[in-house]
Amino acid sequence: MNSSRQPVPHTAPQGLQLESALALLRQAGQGEPDAPTGSPAWLQAVIDRLVDLSSRDPLTGLSNRRFFELSLAREVDRVARSGESALVLMVDIDHFKRVNDSFGHAAGDLVIQAVGQALADTVRPMDLVARIGGEEFAVMMPNCPAAFGPQVADRVRHRVARSPVTLQDGRQISVTVSVGGAFAPQWVRSTPSLWMQRADLQLYRAKNSGRDRVCLEPSFMPQVSAEEKGLLFSSSTWQDLE
Amino acid sequence: MNAIATPTSGPAKLARVTAITSGKGGVGKTLVAANLAAALTRLGERVLVLDADLGLANLDVVLNLSSKCTLHDVFTGKVNLLDAVLPAPGGFSVVLAGSGMLEYSRMTPEVRDKLLDAVQQLRPRFDHILLDTGAGISDVVLYTVSLADEVLIVATPEPTSLADAYATVKVLATTQPARRMRLLVNQVQRASEGRAVRTQLQQVVDRFVNPGLPQPVQLELVGEVPLDPSVREAVQKRQLLLESLPGSEAAKSLALAAGRLIAET
């Protein structure tokens, strides 16, 4: 420890340069906190709002890549311990460059906002939707059984395709998305980046096989029917033992 | 002590590779692998156990071993494979998975190649290689099993274990080339419970799996190991059952199973 270091002030920190932080909050449509200016509560509120701001994508209001990766890391830990099934979807707007080229960047922004909204409207409250790149989104779905994966992913794709975007001049355009998905390996410690890479790989598959479709990493969960289980646990053989 | 067996002169005889898998975790797979290896060693075989549980390896725990040269170090190029071959308490050799294997919890082309290369390099040096796979039916487990000449499924009479053992047989039979599939039933509470488990599994396989296959699956029972307090005792002492309590029922049945494993090749 450096003994010459200044002690941390107990009261409101004086001499902090908060002008740009406050300007940023104002620009984001958030005013100053209600608490008395400079009080610890006020400072905490400023920090909380900055944290919130740094977790969001300004265009869509969705979570950004940074926050998504942080949440994914927590989910990886949880899945390793619980064995619960969790799905990550990568969603990419098809032929987005054409939208920008034909209708301009303002129209492109509207399309991105509309797709983000459609995604947010399709998923459960516990799911996390993020914009992780230009026209790329990601969805994390905790507690999503493998059998539901294809259905859930296709609902996302379908919803976007059914929602036309109205441009400023009143024209309507429709876009489609390609979706790639992968489940977290259960009971296994993995990493967020590996999980995203696997979903990304499926997104490339979806793109390469014609777009406007869903590709999920093949699951090795074998289908064992109720009939098979019934026979497996039928008592005849066991009774012979008695 | 040099743990690496030297290749015999003349045309190299390749080790028989057996994948030990279970579907369900916690059925005693690693314990069975370690003690079968010790029993095979006593029968004069040169045996290596490769910890292929790349996600949550624990062969080191069962054998009370630790090493600075693991499969992980081999994969990252830090050491040569042969330096990672260690002597284990029962007189056989092991390659431990090592920590940091979380990177390999999913199969990538790179891991595929490295694992295949490791098995190929080890084959000329041993008579028998046991691949201790992880729990579940992940792509890593399936790939590891695909490297083996035969499969040993470890199950217990518990319904969940039975269901997972069946699922494993079904996936392997429908996605991989036909191979000898054997069954070892662990933790049986009555004599011939193992036989009942085999019969039950075979019955469902005959009805739902075999009809679609060019070569039907016949599960062979290599042994049943009784539920025996000595197992717990040995595990807690982190010793091999065959070394610490060789007279126990479980140890005797494992020795018997090892004999059947190599009896008729």
- Interface pTM, i.e. ipTM: 0.78
Distance from the Cα of B163 to chain A's closest Cα (Å) equals 7
Q: Is 50 exceeded by the pLDDT of residue A7?
A: no
| pLDDT per position as a tens digit, A81-130 | 666 789 999 999 999 999 999 999 999 999 999 999 999 999 999 999 99
Mutation target to probe the A interface, by most A beta carbons within 10 A, among B199, B204, B221, B224 is: B204
- Mean pLDDT over the full length of chain B: 86
> What does the DSSP assignment read for chain A?
--TTSPPPPSSSPTT---HHHHHHHHHTT----SSPTTSHHHHHHHHHHHHHHHHB-TTT-SEEHHHHHHHHHHHHHHHHHH----EEEEEEETTHHHHHHHH-HHHHHHHHHHHHHHHHHHS-TTSEEEE-SSSEEEEEESS--GGGHHHHHHHHHHHHHH-PEEPTTS-EE---EEEEEEEPPTTS---HHHHHHHHHHHHHHHHHTTSSSEEEPPP------HHHHHHHT-SHHHHHH-
Domains plus CATH for chain B? 16-263 (3.40.50.300)
| pLDDT per position as a tens digit, B46-103 | 999 998 876 666 788 778 887 778 888 888 888 999 999 999 999 999 999 876 555 5
* CB atoms B167 and A188 under 8 Å: no
Residue A125 at interface with chain B, using a CB cutoff of 8 Å? no
Q: Whole-prediction pTM value?
A: 0.62
Nearest to A220 among B137, B166, B199 (CB): B137
| pLDDT per position as a tens digit, B140-198 | 788 889 889 999 999 999 988 999 899 999 988 877 788 899 999 999 999 889 999 99
Per CB-CB distance under 8 Å, the chain B contacts of A186 are 136
Per CB-CB distance under 8 Å, the chain A contacts of B171 are 220, 222
* Spatial separation of the C-alpha atoms in residues A166 and A171, rounded to whole Å: 6
* Spatial separation of the C-alpha atoms in residues B160 and A60, rounded to whole Å: 46
Q: Phi-psi bin for B184: left (phi > 0), alpha (psi -120 to 50), beta?
A: beta
Q: Name the residue in chain B with its Cα closest to that of A224.
A: B167
Q: Which two tokens stand for residue B203?
A: 């019955």
Burial class of residue B136 in the structure, from the number of CB atoms within 10 Å of its CB (0-12 exposed, 13-18 middle, 19+ buried): buried
- The question of whether A135 is a catalytic residue gets the answer yes
Mutation target to probe the A interface, by most A beta carbons within 10 A, among B56, B105, B144, B169 is: B105
Q: Which residue has the tokens 């003690």?
A: B35
Position A227 scores a pLDDT of: 86
Q: How many residues does chain B have?
A: 265
Mutation target to probe the B interface, by most B beta carbons within 10 A, among A188, A189, A221 is: A188
Per CB-CB distance under 8 Å, the chain B contacts of A81 are none
| pLDDT per position as a tens digit, A10-54 | 444 667 888 899 999 999 888 888 888 888 899 999 999 999 999
CA atoms within a 13 Å half-sphere pointing along the CA-CB vector of A144 = 25
Position A209 scores a pLDDT of: 94
Q: Where in chain A is the domain with CATH 3.30.70.270?
A: 63-216
Q: Which two tokens stand for residue B216?
A: 């039907």
Exactly one of A69, A135, A227, A228 is catalytic; name it. Answer: A135
Q: Which strands make up the sheet holding B128-133, listed edge to edge? A: B85-87, B93-95, B47-52, B128-133, B16-21, B150-155, B180-188, B219-226
Distance from the Cα of A213 to chain B's closest Cα (Å) equals 24
CATH superfamily label, A63-216: Reverse transcriptase/Diguanylate cyclase domain (3.30.70.270)
Position A2 scores a pLDDT of: 44
Position B201 scores a pLDDT of: 95
